[in-house]
Amino acid sequence: MNEIALSVNELEFGHKKALFDALSFCCRRGEVSAILGANGRGKTSLLNTLSGVIPPLAGEISRSAPIGFVAQSFSSAFAYRVIEIVLMGRVSNVGLLQQPTAKDESIAREALDTLGIAHLAEHSFQTLSGGQRQLVMIARALATGCEMLILDEPT
């Protein structure tokens, strides 16, 4: 049996009031799970709570593995290259006011290669198609070293 990577017990979440009462479930390593529902019903709020972006109103979330989060959209006011966007996933490994190391760049390039988009490394993120942008954001999440991915509207 696969180890539990994420356990949710009696979770209540939302911005000011709970969207659901006492939600409980678990996700095991190697599993693929989906949350389905109509627009505006709280799927993104749940994912933001699971990934730690917003705190739960009540209940408990236990993570036995680092989690990578890919938001449903990402835009930048600056013309970053793809490799720079992916390197942003290494921020927790880079000291304050430090530059990414050669190891950080190697990990970022490996993430791009894993997704078959290494050829886009030097392209401007702003020039990519929507699907290519999503792949870059997944590569950025993988570059964090996470063992679990949470994808909000990945397609």
From the list 62, 66, 81, 91, the residue with the least C-alpha distance to 136 is 81
Q: What is the pTM of this model?
A: 0.87
The residues, ordered by sequence, that sit 6+ positions from 107 with a Cβ below 8 Å of its Cβ are 90, 143, 145
Pair (146, 92) in one structural domain: yes
What are the backbone angles phi and psi of residue 85, rounded to the nearest 5°? -65, -45
In total, how many domains does the chain have?
2
Convert the pLDDT of each residue in 92-119 to its tens digit: 888 788 899 999 999 999 999 999 999 9
DSSP string, 94-135: S-TT----HHHHHHHHHHHHHTT-GGGTTSBGGGS-HHHHHH
Pair (10, 44) in one structural domain: yes
Convert the pLDDT of each residue in 45-70 to its tens digit: 999 999 888 999 999 999 998 899 99
Convert the pLDDT of each residue in 9-51 to its tens digit: 999 998 778 887 789 999 998 899 999 888 888 899 999 999 8
Pair (109, 59) in one structural domain: no
Pair (103, 131) in one structural domain: yes
User: Residue 1 — very low, low, confident or very high, per pLDDT cuts 50/70/90?
Assistant: low
Q: What is the structure's pLDDT at 116?
A: 97
Considering the domain boundaries, does residue 77 fall inside one? no
Domain of 124, in residue numbers: 82-151
Pair (95, 145) in one structural domain: yes
Residue 76 in 3-state DSSP? coil
Pair (16, 47) in one structural domain: yes
Pair (87, 141) in one structural domain: yes
